[in-house]
Chains A and B, each alone.
Chain A
Amino acid sequence: MAFDLERVRARYPGREILWRESTDSTMLDAARLTAPGSVVVAGEQTAGQGRFGRRWHSERDAGLYVSILLRPTGVTPTLTLALGLAAAEAIASAAGVACDLRWPNDVLIGERKCAGVLVQLGDAAAIAGIGVNVNQVAFPADIATLATSLRIATGCEQSREELLIELLGAVDRHLELIEYRGPGAILDLFASSSSYVRGRRVTVDMDGASVRGTADGLDPSGFLWLRCDDGSRRLILSGGVRPA
């Protein structure tokens, strides 16, 4: 079904929201924008970007593929936790699905990922990339056991436009939360919204090895403490967290 961009624009008058029928990556399109808050949304990405060179499966007209230009000043890693929270909140509002968050910001339904968030920070801009699996009914074999969609979870087709409307509002609210109440407010929210923050048995890829242990809370910057099975306690700086 064609994407009704005007429905989204009507909810955010004055905001630059661009549509790409097909693009290599909305992250590259957003890098050419200048006004903070500007948005690029695509029907299809031919080279959707995941973490560290991985690709984000971007089936045509099935998912929500969006990049948002953020103000580059004041960007902290806590921002990525906030964006995961925003994506989960938008999914709950638009589709009625309760999500879990896997540190730092994978959005899960049960154990399967339905949305991912990445932020690219350069000197000139910070760009948030958010991909949500909305109406996919199946996934490629290599991610079939790891991914799910809102349609699979609910059994019915979901509106990408309504999801984008909710997402933009949720992102704005969470950024305001950081601005006015500080990163601590995001950490508290994340800790109460994610089953991966404390007590969860996990395996983490770090320094070229897999380390097994138990999640042991967030440090003041939002990094994840891991109580390793060898007795040490290590701070996880990046991603690569999965159930043990």
Chain B
Amino acid sequence: MTFDEIKELIQVVKDSGVAELEVQRGENRVWIKRAAGLTQEVVVPAASAAPAVFGPAAPFAPAPGPHAAPAPAPAAGGQPIDVTSDPSLELVKSPIVGTFYDASAPAAPPFVKIGDTIQPGQILCVIESMKLMNEIEAEVSGVIVAKLVDNAKPVEYGQALFAVRPS
């Protein structure tokens, strides 16, 4: 892999908002992770007044192999929010390696949206792993303040999927 190719990969990480990227080409493997100081904005519901900053990628368990980490929620001009260090927020984490789906079907509405009030037992998303469809349910009541993974993107074990402000 050439220096220019590595620079291109760094640019991809910067442009896409992906938190972490690992690429293997032949015998070469490159791992790029966003620095701790970099921030990504996430949407904050209008009802929430708490300003914060989204930090680096949520902590992962060791990955089973090289693939790109998912991107955080897209910026939408709201107040930035730090979902990893704000103790008032609960993180909903993936219990399994798989693919994140925010709806039951491509044309279906998402299970939840930012700003939705949720109740324990409510389905928030599905993580598919080899046709094992794992329904992720809310464990607390509260408000969804951030969606941290894009639809149909891979997720790791323990990766944060949503941030919830408990009620």
Residues of A within 8 A of B (CB): 51-54, 75-81, 103-105, 117-123, 207-208, 219-223, 225, 231-235, 237-239
Q: Does B85 contact A (CB under 8 A)?
A: no
Contacts of A77 in B (CB 8 A): 96-98, 129-130, 132
Q: Compute how far the CA of A109 lies from the CA of B16 in the bound complex, rounded to whole angstroms.
A: 42
Whether A234 lies near B64 (C-beta < 8 A) is no
**Can you list 9 A-B pairs with a CB-CB distance of less than 8 A?**
A51-B131, A77-B130, A79-B132, A104-B130, A121-B132, A207-B152, A221-B64, A235-B66, A238-B129
Whether B131 lies near A105 (C-beta < 8 A) is yes
Whether B153 lies near A119 (C-beta < 8 A) is no
Q: Compute how far the CA of A219 lies from the CA of B105 in the bound complex, rounded to whole angstroms.
A: 28
Chain A contact residues: helix, strand, loop or mixed: loop
Q: How far is the CB of B159 from chain A (nearest CB, A)?
A: 12
User: Knowing that A103-B130, A104-B131 are A-B contacts, what are 17 other residue pairs whose CB atoms are under 8 Å apart, sorted by A's residue number?
Assistant: A53-B106, A53-B107, A54-B105, A76-B132, A80-B132, A118-B131, A120-B133, A121-B133, A122-B137, A219-B65, A222-B130, A223-B64, A223-B97, A223-B130, A237-B97, A237-B154, A239-B130
Highest count of chain A CB atoms <10 Å: which of B96, B104, B131, B132: B131
Q: Which residues of B55-114 have CB atoms within 8 Å of chain A's CB atoms? A: 64-67, 96-99, 101, 103-108
Whether B135 lies near A238 (C-beta < 8 A) is no
Q: Compute how far the CA of A79 lies from the CA of B64 in the bound complex, rounded to whole angstroms.
A: 18
Contacts of B135 in A (CB 8 A): 120-122
Contacts of B152 in A (CB 8 A): 207-208
Q: Does B51 contact A (CB under 8 A)?
A: no
Report the nearest B residue to A55, measured CB to CB: B105
Q: Compute how far the CA of A220 lies from the CA of B101 in the bound complex, rounded to whole angstroms.
A: 24
Whether B134 lies near A53 (C-beta < 8 A) is no
**Cβ-defined partner of B66 (8 Å) among A220, A233, A238:** A233
**Cβ-defined partner of B108 (8 Å) among A53, A118, A220:** A53
With A53-B105, A77-B129, A238-B98 known as contacts, the answer to whether A231 contacts B26 (CB < 8 A) is: yes
Whether B65 lies near A52 (C-beta < 8 A) is no
Highest count of chain A CB atoms <10 Å: which of B25, B65, B103, B135: B65
Minimum-distance CB pairs A-B, first 6: A53-B105, A104-B130, A235-B65, A77-B130, A77-B129, A238-B99
Q: Compute how far the CA of A123 lies from the CA of B66 in the bound complex, rounded to whole angstroms.
A: 29
